[in-house]
Copies of this chain bind each other. A is one copy, B any other.
Amino acid sequence: MKSKLFSLFLVLGVTVAFSVSAQEKDIKLPPQATEFYEPVVQPVKPGNENHLPPADAIVLFNGSSLDAWVSEKDGSFPKWEVKDGVFTVVAKTGGIKTKETFGDVQVHLEWRSPSEVKGDGQGRGNSGFFLMGKYELQILDSYDNKTYSNGQAASIYKQHPPLVNATRPPGEWNTYDVIFTAPRFDAKGMLISPARITVLHNGILVQNNVTLHGPTQYIGIPHYVEHEEELPFHIQDHGNPVSFRNIWARKLD
């Protein structure tokens, strides 16, 4: 690969002799021996602030239009409200899903529960973000709102409670930063490796590379059955006017 010969002088010229304690003898190594130039790392321009989409992100909502999304029922244009750079669930119009499909992915999204508190438990500011349309990261107004641990905000719904409850008060914006690894199946449809997820909620680690038990179930028990390698994201219409802004994703595979 490289044609220039490494100068012997340079080897001898290394002045810091390093004693690697577990070796049988002191070995003088040139530091260049552990310097690798491949693979070459591609630059990616970050957003001006960390929550803004970097240059390689697929922007899924830029404040003005839901044209990256369709109704999950019939594929029609979403009936949710877009206003002031924000979109909001319109109850009973059904969930929405992305046109684009994703497998392993980094996702950023921001959500806000209504400032006027109505209902309690699961009835209060409820929605959900479904990776691959199957694996739900719960969205709920969990600020001083008791519900089951594995159903509160930032839980992997009915599977993993968050490590802590980092929810901001009603009417304030919350952020989710998500790293998702899709499950893998073998040729016979048996699970080879399960889905895994890491989540930061408002900058705080709440899911630490946890393993998903299977697609999320509201009633019943999650278990894996083979599915596609890439699938759309879904956002749930749970009847509450939860709002969203600034959603972007970076494919990892």
Contacts and interface: CB of A to CB of B under 8 A. Distances in A.
Contacts of A46: 166, 168, 201-204
A120 interface: no
A179 to B, nearest CB: 6
Contacts of A159: 213
Contacts of A33: 20, 23, 27, 29, 33, 219-221
B198 A179 contact: yes
Interface string A178-212: 01000010111111101000101111110011110
Interface residues of A, number: 104
A101 to B, nearest CB: 15
A6 interface: yes
A162 B226 CA distance: 15
Interface stretch (A69-77, A126-134, A146-154, A230-238): A146-154
A148 B34 CA distance: 9
A178 to B, nearest CB: 10
A41 B161 contact: yes
B40 A149 contact: yes
Contacts of A47: 202-203
A230 to B, nearest CB: 13
